[in-house]
Amino acid sequence: MKEFKIQGLVRTFGVRIATPITDMDRIIDAIEAQGVDRINDPVEVIIRVPEPRQDWVNKWYEKAIRRQNRHGLIIRHCKDATFIYDSFYDACASSAPRHGDKYDYKTGIAVAYAKVMHESIPDYI
């Protein structure tokens, strides 16, 4: 997920920033709920833009690493391929770039581990 941070000041009718925001009432209510003075208190507005591909890779990579640390999941790399063996489930899987994609360590682990767990791989991966 990408984050964009914007500095501004709380004003009577909103937050003064250079970027227009359409749902200002909801934002002001959230700011007031935190006990911020409505006039001239400095604030930071964070806009998060989801990145489905990277979020999916991060989720499954972190699961694989946690499993490796706790239960001895075996992860091996050979050139542009990743191989994973899970002795608890007695399952193995592999992943490799397709369609001319460049090999990425984290993506390789995420895809192979998702396959071990019988998770479908989204088309955007």
Domain ranges of the chain: 2-49, 52-116
pLDDT at 125: 85
pLDDT band at 13 (very low <50, low <70, confident <90, very high): low
pLDDT at 85: 96
Q: Is residue 123 scored above 70 in pLDDT?
A: yes
The residue that leads in pLDDT, 27 or 58, is 58
Q: What is the pLDDT of residues 67-97, one digit of tens each?
A: 998 888 999 999 899 999 998 889 999 999 9
Q: Residue 79 and residue 11: Cα distance in Å, rounded?
A: 57
pLDDT at 114: 97
Mean pLDDT of the chain: 82
Q: Residue 33 and residue 4: Cα distance in Å, rounded?
A: 22
Half-sphere exposure of 33 (CA within 13 A, CB side): 6
Map tokens 């490799």 to a residue.
96
Task: Please count the other Cβ atoms lying within 10 Å of the Cβ belonging to residue 124.
Answer: 8
